[in-house]
């Protein structure tokens, strides 16, 4: 079922979400099905449970089609379709990269956000299986963006340079809508 995506200003986006304590349950399956329906309907690249008002540490991101490319990162390897529960992110370098981000909770806008260039992330899939990946580039950016939602952080709160913040169609005229997270 497609759910309403909360937009910036809603206090529910600022909460710290709770860990999932039981895996492979009907409730978790329904939540994930709703999150994928909602993300696809909005043409998103990622979604966190708090964005649909569910205060649990659950994020999804990536693409079913392994050939899909993010137009903002046309040279980046595709990000696999991922369910990530109770995630922990560990930065693997001091290096910080700046890149454009959007967010389904901040529709129509883009801003440049500094992120760790390379991270290891760990967590669980919907059945409780362990996930442990070391990633960089867009994959590292999207997982940091989604996991921030679990701590009540929206990307404008990470920005340092507000001269690089604006409406997508003004910043990038002629470019078709790029996915938001
Ligand atoms: Ni977002």
55 CA distance to ligand 1 middle (Å): 15
> What values do phi and psi take at 15, rounded to 5?
-80, 155
Instruction: For residues 73 and 70, give the distance between their C-alpha atoms in angstroms, rounded to a whole number.
Output: 5
91 CA distance to ligand 1 middle (Å): 20
Single pTM value for the model: 0.94
Residue 170 has pLDDT above 70, yes or no: yes
Could you tell me the two tokens for 93?
């370098």
Give 90's pLDDT tier (boundaries 50, 70, 90): very high
Other CB atoms within 10 Å distance of the CB of residue 107: 14
Closest-CA residue to 148 (of 108, 180, 103): 103
129 CA distance to ligand 1 middle (Å): 25
Instruction: For residues 31 and 1, give the distance between their C-alpha atoms in angstroms, rounded to a whole number.
Output: 9
CB neighbour list of residue 157: distance below 8 Å, 6 or more residues apart: none
Closest-CA residue to 111 (of 181, 46, 45, 174): 181
Which pLDDT belongs to residue 77? Answer: 77
Could you tell me the two tokens for 12?
């529910």
> Taking all residues of the chain, what is their mean pLDDT, rounded to a whole number?
94
pLDDT in tens, 31-62: 999 999 999 999 999 999 999 999 999 999 99
Residue 156 has pLDDT above 80, yes or no: yes
Closest-CA residue to 139 (of 94, 60, 97, 80): 80
154 CA distance to ligand 1 middle (Å): 6
Residues designated as active site: 146
CATH of domain 11-171: 3.90.45.10
Residue 8 has pLDDT above 90, yes or no: yes
Domain ranges for the chain? 11-171
106 CA distance to ligand 1 middle (Å): 7
Instruction: For residues 17 and 38, give the distance between their C-alpha atoms in angstroms, rounded to a whole number.
Output: 19
Pairing of strands 118-124, 130-136: antiparallel
């Amino acid at each position: 079922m497609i759910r309403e995506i909360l937009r910036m200003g809603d206090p529910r986006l600022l909460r710290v979400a709770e860990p999932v304590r039981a895996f492979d349950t009907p409730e978790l399956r329904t939540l994930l099905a709703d999150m994928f329906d909602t993300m696809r309907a909005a043409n998103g690249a990622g979604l966190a449970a708090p964005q649909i008002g569910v205060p649990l540490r659950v994020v999804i991101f990536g693409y079913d089609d392994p050939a899909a490319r993010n137009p903002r990162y046309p040279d980046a390897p595709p990000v696999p379709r991922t369910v990530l529960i109770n995630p922990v992110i560990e930065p693997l370098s001091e290096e910080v990269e700046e890149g454009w981000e959007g967010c389904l909770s901040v529709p129509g806008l883009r801003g440049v956000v500094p992120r760790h260039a390379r991270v290891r992330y760990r967590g669980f899939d919907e059945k409780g299986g362990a996930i442990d990946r070391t990633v960089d580039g867009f994959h590292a950016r999207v997982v940091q963006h989604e996991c921030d939602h679990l701590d009540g952080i929206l990307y404008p709160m990470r920005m340092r340079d507000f001269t690089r913040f604006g409406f997508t169609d003004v910043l990038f005229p002629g470019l078709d809508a790029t996915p938001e997270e």
